[in-house]
Amino acid sequence: MAVAAREQWSSRAGFVFAAIGSAVGLGNMWRFSYLTAEHGGAAFVVLYLGITALIGLPILLAELVLGRGSQRSPIRALAHFGGPAWQPLGLVFVAAGFLILSYYGVIAGWTLRYTAVALFAGFDATIADSFADVAQGADAFGLHVVFMVATIAIVAGGVKRGIERTALVLMPLLFVLVCGLAVYAATLDGGEAGYRYYLQTDFSAIFDRDVLTQAAGQAFFSLSLGMGAMLTFGSYLKRENHLPNESLLIAGADIGIAFIAGLVVFPLIFALGLSDRVAESTMGALFITLPQAFAEMGAVGRPVGFLFFAALVVGALTSAISLLEVVVSSAIDGLGWTRKRAAWAMGGLITLLGIPAAWNTEILEAMDQVANNFFLLGGGLALSVFVGWVMKDPVGEVAVGTSGVRWFFLWRALLRFVVPAVLLFVLFDAIPRTFESLAALF
Ligand code: TRP
C-alpha cells in the first residue's frame, strides 16, 4: 500500500493556534460559567486553577509528547510506545470522540440559532421560556447538521489548508470579541455584584469531593484532554518544538479566555438583575439567562448578543474540528482511508449519533457527564500511567527541541504519583454518580 507522507503544520503559529482553538470552546464560555455558578463562584475558580496546573498541564504535555514522538494517530501512537496491548485504549479515545462531538454539535447548533436570532429578529422577553422548545427536536437537529457540515468540510480540507488556516483566522477574532465584550460589560451599572460573586472566594466550598470532581472534569474538557485530541495535533509536529513551552501557552490561553468569559457573563447577569435565575438553571445559564439579559438591555442587546453568540460559534467550531480530527486521523491511519472519505463518513455518522442529544436535553446532559466523568478522567488516568510508568524515557522525548531543562523529572513524578492518585480519588466518586444520572433517565 502506498502511504502518503504524513501531513504537518506549516508553522509554529499554525499549531499553537489550532491547539488553542481546540481548547477554547463551549467549555470555556458555556460549561465554565455554569459550573462556576453551580459550585459557589470564586471557590470553584480557585480550585479549577490548581487542578489545571497540577493535573491538566502534565497530561497536556504527555499527549503532545506521545503524538510528536510517535508521529501517529491515537490508535497507533500508544501501541508504538507500549506494544499492541495498548491499542484498545486508542479505540476508547476514538469512541470518546464520537460521543463528545455528537452532543457538542447539538449545543453548537443552539449557539447558531441565537446568533441568527440576534441578527434577524432580536431577543424578546419570551426567549428564556422558549429555550426548552428550541433546544430539543427537529430544529435542534437541523442546526446540528449545519454545524457538522461546516466542521466536516474544514477537516476534509486537511491539516494545513483546513484546520490550520481556519484557526489562524478565527482565533484572533475570538480573542478580540471576548475581550471587547468584557470591556463593554465593565461599563454596565450594577455589574459589581457579578464581579463579587465571581471573584470573592469562599474557601469552604472547595473541600467537597463533588466540586473537586467537577473541577477535574472541566479541566480535562476545557483543555481537550483525555481522548487523544492534543496527541493527534502533536503528531503533525516536527521534532523541534519546545513542548513544555507550548503546553504553558495553550493552557494559559485556555484559562485566560475562560476567565475573561466569566468577566462577561457574570456582570451581565447581575447588572440586569437575573442572578436568581443562574442558580436555578444549570446548563441553561448561558442559553436561558443570557438571552434574557440581551432582551432586557434594549437596543444594544441585539449587537451585544450577536457578538457574544458569534464568539461561541467560533469557539465551538475550532473545538469540534479537533474532536473530528481524532476520529478522522485514526481512520486514515488505521483503515487506510483518504482524508475526504474519512471526514465525510465518520462525520456523517457522528451527525446521526447526535439525534438523541438533539431530542432531549437530559440525554445531552447525561452524555456530557459520561464523557467527562468516565471517558476523559479515565483516559487521563490511563495516559498518566502509560507515560509515567510504561513508556521508556519520556523525559528524553520531552527534551527533544529544548536545551534539556532539569525540572522535567518533576513532570514525570507528577504523572507517576500525583495525577493517578487524584484521578483515582475523583473517579471513585464520579463513576457511581454517573451511573446514577444515567439511571435517572429511565
Ligand atoms: N476543549 C473544548 C471546549 O472547551 C472541547 C473539546 C475539543 C474537547 N476537543 C476535545 C473536549 C477533546 C474533550 C476532548 O469546548
Give CA torsion, residues 339, 343, 344, 345, to 10 deg.
90
Extract the C-alpha cell encoding 68: 510528536
Cβ(173)–Cβ(318) under 8 Å? no
pLDDT at 129 over 60: yes
Q: Which pLDDT value is given to residue 40?
A: 75
pLDDT at 348 over 50: yes
Cβ(76)–Cβ(70) under 8 Å? yes
Q: Is 218 exposed, middle or buried (0-12, 13-18, 19+ CB in 10 A)?
A: buried
Cβ(326)–Cβ(77) under 8 Å? no
Q: What percentage of the chain reaches a pLDDT higher than 70?
A: 97
Cβ(350)–Cβ(328) under 8 Å? no
Q: Is residue 1 part of a domain?
A: no
Cβ(223)–Cβ(250) under 8 Å? yes
Average pLDDT (116-127) is 90
pLDDT at 2 over 50: no
* Ligand 1 centre distance from Cα of residue 31 (Å): 11
Q: Which amino acid is at 154?
A: I
Choose among 374, 370, 352: nearest CA to 362.
Answer: 370
Give the integer Cα–Cα distance in Å for 272 and 183. Answer: 17
pLDDT at 147 over 90: yes
Atom of ligand 1 nearest to the CA of 322: 9
Identify the weakest region by mean pLDDT among 157-171, 314-328, 361-375, 409-423. Answer: 361-375
Give the integer Cα–Cα distance in Å for 170 and 156. Answer: 18
- From 64, 103, 319, the mutation candidate for ligand 1 (largest count of ligand atoms within 8 A of CB) is 319
Our count of domains for the chain comes to 1
Band (157; pLDDT cuts 50, 70, 90):
very high
Q: Is residue 6 part of a domain?
A: no
Q: Within 13 A of 102's CA, how many CA atoms are on the CB side? A: 26
Average pLDDT (380-387) is 98
* Ligand 1 centre distance from Cα of residue 296 (Å): 32
Backbone angles phi, psi at 13, to 5 degrees: -60, -40
Number of residues assigned to the chain: 442
Choose among 65, 53, 63: nearest CA to 396.
Answer: 65
* Ligand 1 centre distance from Cα of residue 413 (Å): 26
Q: Is residue 147 part of a domain?
A: yes
Band (325; pLDDT cuts 50, 70, 90):
very high
Q: Is residue 4 part of a domain?
A: no
Give the integer Cα–Cα distance in Å for 276 and 296. Answer: 15
- Residue 277 Cα to chain centre, angstroms: 25
Over residues 8-41, the pLDDT tens digits come to 999 999 999 999 999 999 999 888 987 887 787 8
Band (132; pLDDT cuts 50, 70, 90):
confident
Q: Which pLDDT value is given to residue 440?
A: 84
Which residue, judged by its Cα, is nearest atom 13 of ligand 1?
Answer: 224
* Ligand 1 centre distance from Cα of residue 124 (Å): 32
* Ligand 1 centre distance from Cα of residue 220 (Å): 8
Atom of ligand 1 nearest to the CA of 227: 14
Band (3; pLDDT cuts 50, 70, 90):
low
The CATH number of the domain holding residue 115 is 1.10.4160.10
Q: Is 106 exposed, middle or buried (0-12, 13-18, 19+ CB in 10 A)?
A: buried
Give the integer Cα–Cα distance in Å for 9 and 236. Answer: 6
Which residue, judged by its Cα, is nearest atom 10 of ligand 1?
Answer: 224
pLDDT at 326 over 50: yes
* Ligand 1 centre distance from Cα of residue 397 (Å): 25
Atom of ligand 1 nearest to the CA of 230: 12
Q: Within 13 A of 284's CA, how many CA atoms are on the CB side? A: 23
Per-residue buried b or exposed e for 270-281, using 16+ beta carbons within 10 Å of the residue's own CB = bbbebbebbeeb
Give the integer Cα–Cα distance in Å for 33 and 319. Answer: 18
* Ligand 1 centre distance from Cα of residue 117 (Å): 26
Cβ(271)–Cβ(56) under 8 Å? no
Q: Is residue 276 part of a domain?
A: yes
Band (1; pLDDT cuts 50, 70, 90):
very low
Extract the C-alpha cell encoding 120: 434577524
Q: Is residue 2 part of a domain?
A: no
3-state secondary structure (DSSP) of residue 174 = helix
Q: Which pLDDT value is given to residue 286?
A: 76
Extract the C-alpha cell encoding 399: 527534551
Q: Is residue 7 part of a domain?
A: no
Which residue, judged by its Cα, is nearest atom 8 of ligand 1?
Answer: 224
Give the integer Cα–Cα distance in Å for 270 and 186. Answer: 12
Average pLDDT (99-125) is 95
pTM of the model: 0.95
Average pLDDT (118-142) is 89
* Ligand 1 centre distance from Cα of residue 21 (Å): 9
* Ligand 1 centre distance from Cα of residue 222 (Å): 5
Atom of ligand 1 nearest to the CA of 96: 14
Band (233; pLDDT cuts 50, 70, 90):
very high
Pocket of ligand 1 (CB under 6 A): 22-23, 25-28, 100, 221-222, 224, 227, 229, 319, 322-323, 376
Atom of ligand 1 nearest to the CA of 319: 7
Atom of ligand 1 nearest to the CA of 229: 12
Q: Is residue 303 part of a domain?
A: yes
Which residue, judged by its Cα, is nearest atom 7 of ligand 1?
Answer: 319
* Ligand 1 centre distance from Cα of residue 300 (Å): 31
Extract the C-alpha cell encoding 175: 480573542
Atom of ligand 1 nearest to the CA of 326: 12
Q: Determine the structural domain holding residue 428 and report its residue range.
A: 12-441
Q: What percentage of the chain reaches a pLDDT higher than 90?
A: 75
Residue 368: enclosing H or E segment and its boundaries? helix 361-369
pLDDT at 278 over 70: no
Atom of ligand 1 nearest to the CA of 254: 4
* Ligand 1 centre distance from Cα of residue 53 (Å): 17
Average pLDDT (217-226) is 95
* Ligand 1 centre distance from Cα of residue 27 (Å): 7
Over residues 186-219, the pLDDT tens digits come to 999 999 999 998 888 767 767 777 888 889 999 9
Choose among 177, 240, 194: nearest CA to 8.
Answer: 240
pLDDT at 285 over 70: no
Cβ(356)–Cβ(21) under 8 Å? no
Average pLDDT score over the chain? 92
Cβ(280)–Cβ(28) under 8 Å? no
- From 24, 222, 225, 329, the mutation candidate for ligand 1 (largest count of ligand atoms within 8 A of CB) is 222
